[in-house]
Structure 1
Amino acid sequence: MSLIEILDIESRGDERGQLIALENNKNIPFAIKRVYYLTQTREDVARGFHAHKELMQVAVCISGRCLMKLDDGVNQEEVWLDSPVKAILIRKMIWREMHHFSPDCVLLVLASELYDEQDYIRSYSDFKLLAKSN
């Protein structure tokens, strides 16, 4: 099974522009409890470097692009998020890193749970141990 789970988000539009809707338990496979976005991240800055014990997320670049790296403790995969209709599902216990942000990048993240510091795994070596036991 691939770590990269692409969600093709439907875009409705005409000569006036595009409308893209993200909906709980429809094109987003969970109830959305938190929304945040990263913006004005320099290209030489990497973000992420953590996993979650229970939280699931959907990430989509609504503007610009960035490179998403995912890791399940054994396999690593990369994907460019470079379209507002190309989202990825990040399941629990997946290490994530974001690299090479374009100057116009706005990375939108939808989360299945509210912020909870106890759900984070911030050490890669701890993540590898936990991933091995799952």
Structure 2
Amino acid sequence: MQNEIRFIELPKIKDLRGNLSFLEDNRHIPFEIERVYWIYDVPGGEERGGHAYKNTAEFIIPLTGGFKVEVNRGEDYFEYDLTQTNKGLYLPPMTWRKISGFLSSSVCLVVTDTKFKDCVYLRDFMEYIENFNKKSNGQY
């Protein structure tokens, strides 16, 4: 299940004073947290991402607003709308992703299992497909 794209619902503690959600590594997400970053103030019509990580798993959460995550696993294409602040999207390594359709005032939180300096990016889609196919055929 660690190689599957999937939604993960986080705990939601309801309270009249406001709700609270949280996540813990190896409990709610299937990896140890090495890096956390967030994307915000994205101008209308702009996209983020457009790459894959060879060696990095991600968990993407909309802290406010919402956005669309477009993903490829090889040549299979999927779209996910993220609008619930206690529900995120798990992406295993070798998943091409692009984040778009940001609603006004959206904040996108990304949690990963590698530090920035250890991430191996694939920024060319055809190179990604070639690497994905090699990995799928055990040549990687």
CA distance in 2, matches of 1:86, 1:118: 25
> 1:130 deviation in Å?
0.5
1:55 aligns with 2:56: yes
User: Aligned-pair distance for 1:43?
Assistant: 2.5
**What TM-score do you get using the length of structure 2 for normalisation?**
0.90
Q: Measure, in 1, the Cα distance between the counterparts of 2:26 and 2:61.
A: 17
**Partner amino acid for 2:96?**
W
> Is the CA contact 1:4–1:79 (under 8 Å) kept in the aligned structure 2?
no
RMSD over aligned CA atoms reads 1.6
Aligned to 2:93: 92
- Cα distance in 1 for residues equivalent to 2:58 and 2:129: 20
Structure 1 stretches (4+) deviating beyond 4 angstroms?
none
Q: Quick check: 2-11 or 60-69, which moved more?
A: 2-11
Q: Is the 8 A contact 1:20 1:85 kept in 2?
A: yes
Q: Which runs of 5+ in 1 are unaligned?
A: none
- How many residue pairs align between the two structures? 134
Q: Which runs of 5+ in 2 are unaligned?
A: 136-140
Residue matched to 1:67: 68
Equivalent residue, structure 2, for 1:110: 111
